[in-house]
Structure 1
Amino acid sequence: MAAVSYVPYGCSFTDSYRQWEINLKKRRVYDAYLMPVTITIATTGFKSDAGMLTVRCNGDRFPAGFQISSSHDLASNATERREESENGKLNEASDVMEGSLEQDTIACIHDDLMLLIQRCMEEKNSGLGVQLLKHIARSEVEKDPLLRKQLIIMFNSLDDLLEAIKDVSQLCKENVFSWDVIICSSLKLGQSEKVLELYHTMKELAVEPNYNILVAVLKACGNLGSKDMAMTAHMHAVQLGYDSDVFVNAAIIDTYCKFGLFNDARIIFNSMWEQQDVSWNALIIGYCHKGCLQDSLHSLQNMQKEGFCPARSIFWTLLSSCTNSTALELGKQLHANIIGSGFENDMRIYNGLINFYGKCDAIDDACVTFNRGQMQDVVTWNVLLTAHSQKGYFEEVFAIFQAMQNDDCQPDGITFGSLLTAYCNAEDLEKGKQLHSYILALGVGTHSFVGNNLLNMYIKCGTLQDAQTIFDSLPEQDVSSWNMMIKAYLEHELIEKALAALDGMQMCGIQPDHITFLPFVKVCSNILALEHGQHIHASIVKRGFDTQLAIINSLINMYGKCGKLEEAHLLFDKAPEKDILTWNALMTGYVSEGQGLAALRLYLQLEHAGIKPDKGTYFRAIRACTAVSALGLGKRIHEAVKEAGFSTEMSIINALVDMYAKCGSLKDAHRVFQESSNKDVVTWSSLISGYAEQSDYDTAVELFQEMQEEGVKPDGIAFLSLLAACAHKGLVIKGLFWLRQMRDHYEITEELQHYDCIVDLLGCRGLFDEAEDLLETIPFQYNVVGWLSLLGSCKTYTNLKVAKRCFDIINGVDTDHTTSYVLLSSVYTKAGMYREAEELEISRRDKELWKKTGQAYIEVDNHIHCFSADDETHPQTAGIHSKLELLNLQAKQQGLLNDGVYLDTIPPVVQQDLFCRHSEKLATVFGLMTVPRDAPIRVAKNLRICTDCHQAIKIISKIEHRDILVKDIDCIHIFSNGSCSCGDRHYQSNSCTNAH
């Protein structure tokens, strides 16, 4: 028997008796059958003359009409060269051919060309490769599939061969075989753009492509996502008569499936005059790659009904796509099909089934499948180990490992990788060390994969010193090893050591990848290390990683958290591509900096672009609504959350309760609270905080007690809400009671925020000695917030002595703290010390300590309007100013300006017009003009509402008979009929008995 591993199109094969040549004389459509197969022919008794016979191709009857003819007269010089090659004299033989090739004196036949290709690859001789291609392009040598295959292999072997061909069009001219080889080689090398470029050149030269070229072009279109070009190639195939070619149609089906054009793909499939295995495979895999598993399985079943036997690769591809619990039932149907097809004992499919069940969280089914197997190899055991390890079944992992050893199956690196992953926590460190000893005993610890897994285990267990020992002992440290150590340094906030490691890996000749820089950016973001972050950013740009999406997202997040929003937005705008994490990163920056309006604009832009938000997007959008009291937009986002299926997510529920509460709509906050089946301490604390901000201490305490009755244990945040309720009502005794309860009864350690809340409470009641004693004795340093709070209280009581002391302490810690200058200046102003106040303001400006711009927001008809002091940019500015002047006149006429007023504490230049044009006042007046009378006016302020505006809005509420809610950074002020819900805390008019 003689066998060849290809269908020779005019090629010869040799047996021990004679040389034969198979000539295929059939119409072009049968070119489709020229595929790598095995042909077996009994040569004994063959006659030397040409004859006809039927052969079998891979067990199937080959189409009739293939003529087998004898060939006796091969060139003698080819025989001699072949003999020389067999005797190991390849170089001598090919030297003769190469010289003849350059002089174009011989017509190289198939065997000559194969020898030359072999020499090209052995010597990496691109020059010889180009000469060879030139000879083929201008010769009449027969172009069989084996020669084509070897030429494509040569292109893949010689990296610079494509570049060495200066002009493809001149080289190939009208020789389709040469175009075929170069185009298909380009596709094989991953140069899809080159494929389409060459195809365009062919069309310009009016060279008619063959089916190989059209298949390559269609695949390139699929790789590049070039739908229009794919359709053009499809039409070209129809024009050339290849629309009945099974391989071209399969390529069209595959490409259309990649574009999601399943209806078009199905139409093409159904229009084929005869479906073949390859077309069925293309349709099934096309559905599979697009996640349409149900359609894939349905097509597989139809394929089997039509009498076609699917290849093993189809089952493997389908199994690989079933990667989560949602695909479990489909995977089980596929398993039944595999059993029916007789492939369950195929080792690769058997292992794929166990892997599928593991990834779909069906561990029991994975074990049952494992036990049904007739034999297991190391891959089988590893798949089962990995499935249990990924689910955290670590005891079972060790038991499986012991069973594997009992089965005399030698573990490999993957085995130890799964085991080490199981011990990647501090509780299992001792087991990990035992496994380490076992690895050393087996002598596999020097393998880079195992070594890196050991390194990862010690890092995850938090033992940096052991990790350093492993790292130093590695015989070869690759980029993964360095990345893990750098990440470990950064997790321990050893930035300088991480930077040294970055330099060290480059000195060892290992270049960092984008993974190296991600933890750098993350740590700089977490600890607000802007300078280090900028240095890392420069390194990223230098190495060209600034186009990596993960890097871009991390940099945007870092700059946003560090308050550099312009830089963050610039990165966002320049990003070559964006995913939802890119949008979320920029939104996070805006929300964390209190720029809720900018965050909401970004959210609306995302919606307009048709990008689907995720849970994080909605969370940030709700937080942004909270910042600007955008109740209407918040409700719309709430509806979108319900439609997206996130309304039961705890983080979303808590954000919604907080948003409604801080917008002053406690009714909506209660509704969300009651609808939630699960409530954690954050949910309760958010609602308690809502009542605290509206100075409703009694309801806050009731909720606090109800929370405990429901079995929810309060935490520090819950107590902070309760203490805030006490502060807003000035309940000093109760505030101190709850602070002691938190520490003594609930065993919750006080944090700085709790003490600052008590300082605020003491300050607003004028208990300055007690507040100072507390600030000086609490176990926290650099408590700028607490001293600022006390300095703010000094304005209420015009306590100059304490105010100056607070100012000195704050500036001793932070010499450039703008707020301290502003607050002390306001104390001076209230005390009538205008010259001192002006001098302080001059000093502040000289130091370039700029005040944070006060901004107020109001939502009208789902549109948010922003105002700043003396704002004249709003389209209705004239009407707002006119209305404000009218209100000022009405207040004077009704004698309201003397109603508990501050004229004696306001500079003379301001006394003449109490209704100055501050941001919250402008927003309130705009609300009077636009918000229906039966609805409250809701305004949000990014700072604390000033004394003037607090008094003015009280007067406005009385004149207009309107309820006005103003949310500032301290609380929610509800103005109604000339009074405020805060009880004028921080806004009382007291005598200056302790001024000096």
Structure 2
Amino acid sequence: MAMASPSSSVCPSADPFRWWENTLRKRKKQDPNVVLAVREDATMVYIAATSAVKWKGDGLVSKFRLSCLPDSNGNDSHTHGDLMLVMQRCIEEKDITVGSRVLRSLLKDGLVSDHLLRKKLIDMLCLLDGLHKANEDIYELCKEEISSWDVLISAYIKLEQNEKVLELYHAMKKVPVEPNYDIFAAVFRACAVLEAHEIGVAVHIHAIELGYDMDDFITGVIIDMYCRFGWVLEARRVFDKFSERSPMTWNALIGGYCYVGDLQEALLLVQRMQREGLILSNSILVSLLRLCSKFTGLESGKKIHASIIEGGVESDLRISNALINMYAKCNSSEDARVVLDRAQLHDIVTWNALLSGYAQHGCFEEAFDIFQAMQQGDFWPDGTTYVSLLTACCSLEHLDKGKQLHSSVLTLGLDLNLSVGNSLLNMYIKCGSFEDAKAVFNALPGKDVISWNIMISGCREHEHGDEALAALKEMQEVGIQPDRITFLHLLKVFSNMLALEEGKHIHSLIIQKGFDTEISISNSLIDMYGKCGSLEDAVLVFDKTPKTSIVTWNAIMTVYALHNQGQETLQMYTRLEQEGIKPDRATYFSAIKACATLAALGWGKRIHDAAKQAGFATDIAVTNALIDMYAKCGSLKDAREVFDESPKRTVVTWTALISGYAEQSDYDTAVKLFYDMQQESIEPDGLAFLSLLSACSHKGLVEKGLFHLREMRDQHGILETLEHLDCIVDLVGCGGFFNVGEDLLETMPFKSNIVGWLSLLGSCRLHVNVEVARRCFDYVVALARDHAAAHVMMSNVYSKAGMYKEALELEIARLGKEAWKKAGQAYVEVEDCIHRFSANDTSHPQTLSIHSKLESLSWQAKEQGLLNDSLDLEALSPPVKQDLFCRHSEKLAITFGLLNTPADTPIRVTKNIRVCPDCHQSIKLISKIERREIIVKDVDCIHHFRDGACSCEDRDYVNSTCKNHILTRK
């Protein structure tokens, strides 16, 4: 198609650009093949052709007609308007080739100083994808033209290619060209984003050398950069250089404190600024309100609100939205509604801010009321709306409402929104519908790492450990790499599963990905190894982890406590104090628990005092731990004092005290407390009933125990657990009702109940019932072939029945299976030091004195005729009758206590296994000879020995006649 050249027409001299623009647009309408181009010398041309235009590197295809745009005098020119038009057409046509030539020509000829031309060139650089890559060497053309460098740097800032900004800055210095205000600002911002600390400092020095450091604008950007580095003190030094500060400088520093989350310092600066009569910018007011939202600083938020009202900017939509968000997230819904009602303008952000606050605080009904009000106001819900509503649904009772929302999401097509999809996934998992969650997950397009993390978390919550590991493998196969959250969820999965090998595999992946240096990951590894039974691995991780966080110390202390390593737990407590780490609530809780396992009353009181000074003694969890600790140390007086002083009592508080009296065989006080608790309108739970049943078991009260079991089920609707039924088995077994115990064990709806059968086997020793003992033994070894305790207990039954051959054969069989008995260990506290003893221990510095004292006690017992008194010696084996005071761990600990404590103080010993009958009888004699109170805590109960008698009344150590006749013995 032939067209006339525009040069043949008359060009008005008044506005040649407008004339040529209109002419070319008309030609474009007539022929869509008309395009604009630029020759090497940047002369504007247009091309008309009957086929598509093609461009060659050395010019235009010769068959196309080529005309130059004339100016008002008929001369060739590249006017401002012409260049604007060419760049606009390049953007519209996405013509990188022509755009590249425009860019090179403009930079080469230094034609970018004009503001509008500069802006259009930046737009073209940003909008033509790949144009900046096609011209990676263009900054060589900038020469010493500062505006050209400015254009390129501004474009890269808009493209968020901060590395390129710094590269251009270094290239400028080589030319050399001095940066201007805009370039310095861009470079400082790039350093802040990249956290390029060293470069940022060097650029700051450069700015000082050129005298830009005293400029308000540049100073504000420098302050912002240092705050984003986390160098608040350095930012403050820059600020303090100025005797007279502009609002820009003040706002920059306050914004910096908001960025690092220091609300208190930010508010102090606000007060100083206001005293100087300066006004906060609206953006800083929004930042302050967001900070108040984050830290639930309601009172501070109200003060900022007052300043906003005084400044007359409450009507600003961003500020009103920030106010609503702050009040809603600080759980002050009434104030949020007041702001909403007063606001002159509303948008979807306004409503979403209110919804988000309600969702954060679990206010389900209020969130849906707001949703309805929003719809009545003709505001269409968006993805953020549904994210908040689905968050509010994250509990079991709101599953139906969540499904309704899911239906609405599908109707609106928002299921393709990844945030909404992830929220749906999370809602179903939290509401207990794992199958629905999997359906949402499988249908979710473009899953991100958050989607996979939510799914892995769901596998953990619903105990699908194998699926969690499969999810990890699949996400890596589709190219999504696990992040810190992924590994944290996986470590929790394997902690719950007690899957040590899988946990070690995840640990190796963590090391490969470089996450092993993160504190949260290290803490989770310590927890995982501890729960999976590998104390050694947990300690190795702890040793490699920086000890700056109290959470790390708490993690290892919890692991030691889990492994009954009370002594090591207290050593960790001492170490963290020495290193200046401030204990928190969890620290005191773990330390107090350690004192309970060791019966270390002195340590317990010391930690109690420290918790008081730190303000944690009234914390309900710490209070409950203190009651339990004092009770296990045999000091019910102290336990009762803590209980009476507690400002708040829960069922756990009452149960801790009831359990304390139960362990010391004081059924009467335990049952009184049990009913006193109900008088205060606190309903007992399963643990409270377990404590009461334990009290019955320790006293042999079969009838009362069965009464409380029926009471638990019939009056309180609490179903029996394995622990409840095992306690009943122990109770009826000690009473000699073996038929009831066996029937109960055989009909329980629980499998692998080794504890119950061992309990009944222990009762068989008391009553010398070989027949039932053999059946109990067979059940246990069927479940655990090499169970050492079962072999030892069965051997004891044979020995007591006089079947020494069978006992010896069973012991030989046990040794052949390498079924080793748990080593007995006893602990005693003397002068704030915990001493540990094992059987026949000769490692202690006072071993000779201890053994000499034991021999002396044996001689005194014979001299005083105690071996012939009313004490029952039938429980003692023949060798012990000849050497009454053998070297078992608890006797060594008690003897050490006798040698190293005042004569008028009790001796407190804890043992990790049950006190044997021989030692039980010996300790009674020691208490009578020495006239000392001896308190021994073992795994069964707390024994108080006084004047030759024990508080347990020898129930588990000699045959007794049960006073209950409601069952038939067999």
Same fold, TM-score > 0.5, yes or no: yes
Give yes or no for the alignment of 1:728 onto 2:732. no
CA distance in 2 between counterparts of 1:898 and 1:357 reads 80
Q: CA deviation at 1:262?
A: 8.4
The one of 456, 460, 472 aligned to 1:486: 456
Residue of structure 2 equivalent to 1:707: 677
The one-character-per-residue Cα deviations of 1:129-148 (angstroms, maximum 9, x if unpaired) are 4x555677xx5444788357
Q: CA deviation at 1:789?
A: 1.3
Q: CA deviation at 1:116?
A: 11
CA distance in 2 between counterparts of 1:718 and 1:964 reads 28
Matches within 5 A, 1:800-949: 800-831=770-801, 836-897=806-867, 900=871, 902=873, 906=877, 908=879, 913-949=883-919
Residue of structure 2 equivalent to 1:956: 926
Q: What is the identity, as a one-letter code, of the residue corresponding to 2:161?
A: S
Q: CA deviation at 1:858?
A: 1.6
CA distance in 1 between counterparts of 2:162 and 2:132 reads 8
Matches within 5 A, 1:597-616: 597-616=567-586
SS at match of 2:432: coil
CA distance in 1 between counterparts of 2:680 and 2:123 reads 81
Residue of structure 2 equivalent to 1:52: none
Does the CA-based 8 Å contact 2:662-2:698 persist in structure 1?
Answer: yes
Residue of structure 2 equivalent to 1:640: 610
The one of 534, 537, 540 aligned to 1:570: 540
Residue of structure 2 equivalent to 1:675: 645
Q: CA deviation at 1:264?
A: 9.0
The one of 356, 362, 377 aligned to 2:326: 356
CA distance in 2 between counterparts of 1:305 and 1:683 reads 52
Q: CA deviation at 1:337?
A: 0.9
The one of 625, 630, 634 aligned to 1:664: 634
Give yes or no for the alignment of 1:760 onto 2:730. yes
Q: What is the identity, as a one-letter code, of the residue corresponding to 2:934?
A: I
Work out the percentage of aligned pairs sharing the same amino acid.
52
- CA change 1:816–1:108 in 2 (3 A) is farther
Deviates more, 1:806-815 or 1:703-712: 703-712
CA distance in 2 between counterparts of 1:532 and 1:282 reads 50
- CA change 1:756–1:297 in 2 (3 A) is closer
Deviates more, 1:410-419 or 1:949-958: 949-958
Matches within 5 A, 1:427-438: 427-438=397-408
Give yes or no for the alignment of 1:503 onto 2:507. no
Residue of structure 2 equivalent to 1:787: 757
Deviates more, 1:406-415 or 1:251-260: 251-260
- CA change 1:470–1:267 in 2 (3 A) is closer
Residue of structure 2 equivalent to 1:276: 246
CA distance in 2 between counterparts of 1:274 and 1:904 reads 92
The one of 146, 154, 157 aligned to 1:153: 157
- CA change 1:964–1:135 in 2 (3 A) is farther
CA distance in 2 between counterparts of 1:829 and 1:953 reads 22
Give yes or no for the alignment of 1:589 onto 2:589. no
CA distance in 2 between counterparts of 1:78 and 1:828 reads 114
CA distance in 2 between counterparts of 1:706 and 1:198 reads 68
Residue of structure 1 equivalent to 2:620: 650
Give yes or no for the alignment of 1:630 onto 2:600. yes
Q: What is the identity, as a one-letter code, of the residue corresponding to 1:865?
A: H
Q: What is the identity, as a one-letter code, of the residue corresponding to 1:188?
A: A
The one-character-per-residue Cα deviations of 1:251-294 (angstroms, maximum 9, x if unpaired) are 78678889999899778756623212233224433554565545
Q: What is the identity, as a one-letter code, of the residue corresponding to 1:882?
A: S
Residue of structure 2 equivalent to 1:376: 346
- CA change 1:251–1:157 in 2 (3 A) is closer
Q: CA deviation at 1:663?
A: 1.0
Does the CA-based 8 Å contact 1:763-1:771 persist in structure 2?
Answer: yes
Give yes or no for the alignment of 1:530 onto 2:500. yes
Q: CA deviation at 1:747?
A: 4.1
Does the CA-based 8 Å contact 2:602-2:832 persist in structure 1?
Answer: yes
Q: What is the identity, as a one-letter code, of the residue corresponding to 1:597?
A: Q
Does the CA-based 8 Å contact 1:78-1:111 persist in structure 2?
Answer: no
Matches within 5 A, 1:229-248: 246=216
The one of 195, 198, 222 aligned to 1:196: 198
SS at match of 2:416: coil
SS at match of 2:835: strand
Q: CA deviation at 1:413?
A: 0.4
Give yes or no for the alignment of 1:463 onto 2:465. no
Does the CA-based 8 Å contact 1:287-1:296 persist in structure 2?
Answer: yes
- CA change 1:17–1:833 in 2 (3 A) is farther
Q: What is the identity, as a one-letter code, of the residue corresponding to 1:345?
A: S
Deviates more, 1:354-363 or 1:109-118: 109-118
SS at match of 2:328: helix
Residue of structure 2 equivalent to 1:206: none
RMSD: 4.2
SS at match of 2:935: strand
- CA change 1:636–1:464 in 2 (3 A) is same
CA distance in 2 between counterparts of 1:316 and 1:776 reads 68
Does the CA-based 8 Å contact 1:94-1:119 persist in structure 2?
Answer: no
SS at match of 2:414: coil
The one-character-per-residue Cα deviations of 1:38-86 (angstroms, maximum 9, x if unpaired) are xxxxxxxxxxxxxxxxxxxxxxxxxxxxxxxxxxxxx999999968767
CA distance in 2 between counterparts of 1:308 and 1:160 reads 38
- CA change 1:162–1:273 in 2 (3 A) is closer
CA distance in 1 between counterparts of 2:455 and 2:566 reads 38
The one of 393, 413, 434 aligned to 2:363: 393
The one of 421, 424, 437 aligned to 1:454: 424
Residue of structure 2 equivalent to 1:46: none
Does the CA-based 8 Å contact 1:829-1:905 persist in structure 2?
Answer: no
Q: Which runs of 5+ in 1 are unaligned?
A: 1-14, 19-74, 200-208, 215-236
- CA change 1:412–1:552 in 2 (3 A) is same
CA distance in 2 between counterparts of 1:491 and 1:782 reads 24
- CA change 1:144–1:340 in 2 (3 A) is farther
SS at match of 1:929: helix
The one-character-per-residue Cα deviations of 1:753-785 (angstroms, maximum 9, x if unpaired) are 222223223333444344334333444332211
SS at match of 2:662: helix
Does the CA-based 8 Å contact 1:180-1:212 persist in structure 2?
Answer: no
- CA change 1:566–1:144 in 2 (3 A) is same
- CA change 1:860–1:174 in 2 (3 A) is farther
Does the CA-based 8 Å contact 1:126-1:164 persist in structure 2?
Answer: no
SS at match of 1:445: helix
- CA change 1:840–1:181 in 2 (3 A) is farther
Q: Which runs of 5+ in 2 are unaligned?
A: 1-13, 18-75, 962-969
Residue of structure 2 equivalent to 1:43: none
Does the CA-based 8 Å contact 1:172-1:179 persist in structure 2?
Answer: no
Q: What is the identity, as a one-letter code, of the residue corresponding to 1:612?
A: K
- CA change 1:931–1:163 in 2 (3 A) is farther
Aligned residue pairs: how many?
A: 880
Deviates more, 1:514-523 or 1:630-639: 514-523
CA distance in 1 between counterparts of 2:608 and 2:817 reads 45
SS at match of 2:293: coil
- CA change 1:187–1:606 in 2 (3 A) is farther
CA distance in 2 between counterparts of 1:126 and 1:331 reads 47
Does the CA-based 8 Å contact 2:697-2:731 persist in structure 1?
Answer: yes
Deviates more, 1:638-647 or 1:187-196: 187-196
CA distance in 2 between counterparts of 1:309 and 1:873 reads 75
- CA change 1:16–1:881 in 2 (3 A) is farther
CA distance in 2 between counterparts of 1:444 and 1:96 reads 43
SS at match of 1:516: helix
CA distance in 2 between counterparts of 1:262 and 1:469 reads 48
CA distance in 1 between counterparts of 2:140 and 2:854 reads 88
- CA change 1:690–1:396 in 2 (3 A) is closer
Q: CA deviation at 1:832?
A: 5.6
